[in-house]
Structure 1
Amino acid sequence: MSEFWATFGVDLYLELDTATGRRSGLEHALRDAVRAGRLAPGARMPSTRKLAAELGLSRGTVSAAYDQLIAEGYLTARRGSGTTVADLTRRPAPAPPPRRDAVAPRYDLRPGSPDVGTFPTEAWVRATRRALAATSAEAYDYGDPRGRIELRVALAEYLGRTRGVLATPGQIVITSGYVQGLALLARVLGDAGTAAIAMEDPGLGFHREVVRRAGPAVVALPVDGRGARPDLLRDHERVDAVVVTPAHQYPTGVTLHPARRRALTEWARAHDGLIVEDDYDGEFRYDRQPVGALQGMAPDRVAYLGSASKTLGPALRLGWMALPHRLVEPVVDAKLHLDHHTEAVGQLALADLITTHVYDRHIRACRLHYRRRRDLLLARLGSIPGLAVHGIAAGLHAMVTLPAGGPGEQETLAHASARGVALGSLGGHWHRPGDHPQAIIVGYGTPREHVYPAALDTLADVLTQAGAALRSGR
Structure 2
Amino acid sequence: MTESWATFGADLHLELSAGRGLRAGLAEALREAARGGRLAPGTRLPSSRSLAADLGIARNTVAEAYAELVAEGWLTARQGSGTRVAERARPRRPASAAGAPRVSRPARRGPSYSLVPGSPDLGSFPRAAWLSAARRALTDAPNDAFGYGADGRGRAELREALAGYLARARGVYADPERIVLCAGFVHGLKLLAGVLRERRVRDIAVEGYSLDIHRDVLTGAGLRTRPLRVDEAGARTADLAAGVGAVLLTPAHQFPTGAALTPARRTAAVDWARTTGGLILEDDYDGEFRYDRQQVGALQGLDPDRVVYLGTASKSLAPGLRMGWMVVPPGVLDEVVAAKGRPDWTSSALDQLTLAEFIRSGAYDRHVRGMRLRYRRRRDALVEAVGDRVAVSGIAAGLHAVLDLPPGTERALLQAASWQDLALTGLSRFRHPEADMPPRDALVVGYGTPSDSAWTPTLTALAATLP
Length-normalised TM-score, structure 1? 0.91
Q: Structure 1: which amino acid aligns with 2:257? A: T
- Of residues 389, 392, 397, the one that matches 1:394 is 397
Secondary structure of 1:18 counterpart? coil
State the match for 1:232 in structure 2. 239
The CA deviation at 1:213 is: 2.0
> Hey, what does 1:169 align to over in structure 2?
176
The corresponding residue for 2:54 is 54
Q: Which amino acid aligns with 2:42?
A: G
Identity %: 53
Given the alignment, which residue of 223, 231, 248 partners 1:243?
248
- Structure 1 distance, partners of 2:108, 2:249, is 33
Which residue number in structure 1 is paired with residue 84 of structure 2? 84
Q: 2:270 is matched with which residue?
A: 265
Q: Secondary structure at the match of 2:402?
A: strand
CA distance, structure 2, for counterparts of residue 161 and residue 222 of structure 1: 32
2:378 aligned partner, one-letter code: R
CA distance in 1, matches of 2:349, 2:417: 42
The aligned amino acid for 1:276 is L
Letter of the 2:147 counterpart: D
Q: Where does residue 72 of structure 1 map in the other structure? A: 72
Please, which runs of 5 or more residues in structure 2 have no aligned partner? Answer: none
Offset at residue 436 of structure 1 (A): 2.5
Tell whether the 8 Å contact from 2:204 to 2:223 is kept in structure 1 after alignment. yes
With the length of structure 2 as denominator, give the TM-score of the two structures: 0.93
- Where 1:231 maps in the other structure, the secondary structure is helix
* Cα offset, 1:109, TM superposition: 1.0
Distance 1:352 1:105 in 2: 38
1:424 is matched with which residue?
425
Contact 1:145–1:341 (8 Å) recurs in 2: no
1:69 deviates by 2.3
The 8 Å contact of residues 36 and 92 in structure 2, kept in 1 or not, is answered as no
Question: What amino acid maps onto 2:118 in structure 1?
Answer: G
Corresponding position: 1:124 with 2:125: no
Query: Which stretch of the first structure deviates more once superposed, 259-268 or 213-222?
Result: 213-222
| Residue of structure 2 in register with 1:311 after alignment | 316
Deviations 1:115-158 (A, max 9, x none): 12221111111111112222221111111211111111111111
State which drifts further: 155-164 or 416-425.
Answer: 416-425
Contact 1:380 1:460 (8 Å CA) reproduced: yes
Q: For 1:263 and 1:309, how far apart are their aligned partners in 2? A: 29
Answering whether residue 186 of structure 2 is matched by residue 183 of structure 1, we say no
Alignment partners' CA distance in 2, 1:130 and 1:199: 42
Task: Give distance in 2, aligned partners of 1:252 and 1:102.
Answer: 32
In structure 2, distance between residues paired with 1:175 and 1:85: 46
Q: Is the 8 A contact 2:5 2:13 kept in 1?
A: yes
Residue aligning to 1:458: 461
In the TM superposition, what is the alpha-carbon distance from 1:445 to its structure 2 partner? 0.5
The letter of the residue matching 1:391 is G
Separation of aligned partners in 2, 1:397 and 1:68: 66
Structure 1 residue aligned with 2:161, among 154, 157, 164?
154
- Does the 8 A contact of 1:287 with 1:394 survive in 2? yes
Question: 1:76: how far off?
Answer: 2.4
Could you say which residue in structure 1 is the equivalent of 2:411? 410
Partners of 2:254 and 2:444 in 1: CA distance: 13
Return the offset for 1:214.
Answer: 2.6
Partner of 1:471: none
Q: Does 1:203 align with 2:206?
A: no
| In structure 2, distance between residues paired with 1:341 and 1:364 | 29
SS at structure 2 position matched to 1:219 = strand
Gaps of at least 5 residues in structure 1 are 468-474
Greater mean deviation of Cα atoms: 345-354 or 335-344: 335-344
Secondary structure of 2:254's counterpart equals coil
Contact 2:146 / 2:349 at 8 angstroms: preserved in 1?
Answer: yes
Task: Kindly indicate whether the alpha-carbon contact (under 8 Å) linking 2:227 and 2:434 is maintained by their aligned counterparts in 1.
Answer: no
Contact 2:6 2:51 in 1 (8 A): yes
Question: Does the 8 Å contact 2:208/2:227 carry over to 1?
Answer: yes
Residue 32 of structure 1 corresponds to which residue in structure 2? 32
The secondary structure found in structure 2 opposite 1:311 is: coil
Aligned residues between the structures = 455
Residues 361-412 of structure 1: CA distance to partner in whole angstroms, max 9, x if unpaired?
111111111000000000001111xx2211100000011121124xx33322
1:436 aligns with 2:436: no
Kindly indicate whether the alpha-carbon contact (under 8 Å) linking 2:194 and 2:221 is maintained by their aligned counterparts in 1: yes
Please report how far the alpha carbon of residue 48 of structure 1 lies from its aligned counterpart in structure 2 after TM superposition: 1.1
Letter in 2 for 1:182: L
Q: Which amino acid aligns with 1:416?
A: A
Matches of residues 359-398 of structure 1 in structure 2 within 5 Å?
A: 359-384=364-389, 387-398=390-401
Shift in Å, 1:8: 3.0
- Cα distance in structure 2, aligned partners of 1:80 and 1:127: 41
Q: State how far apart, in whole Å, the 2-side matches of 1:132 and 1:424 are.
A: 41
Kept in 1, the 8 Å contact 2:163–2:174? The answer is yes
Q: 2:258: which partner in 1? A: 253
- Secondary structure class of the residue paired with 1:167: coil
Distance in 2 separating the partners of 1:454 and 1:92: 43
Matching residue's letter, 2:451: R
2:361 maps to 1:356:
yes
Amino acid at match of 2:216: E
Cα deviations across residues 83-123 of structure 1 (Å, max 9, x unaligned)?
Answer: 2112434456889xx99x94132212111110122211111
Cα pair 1:12 1:38 within 8 Å, conserved: no
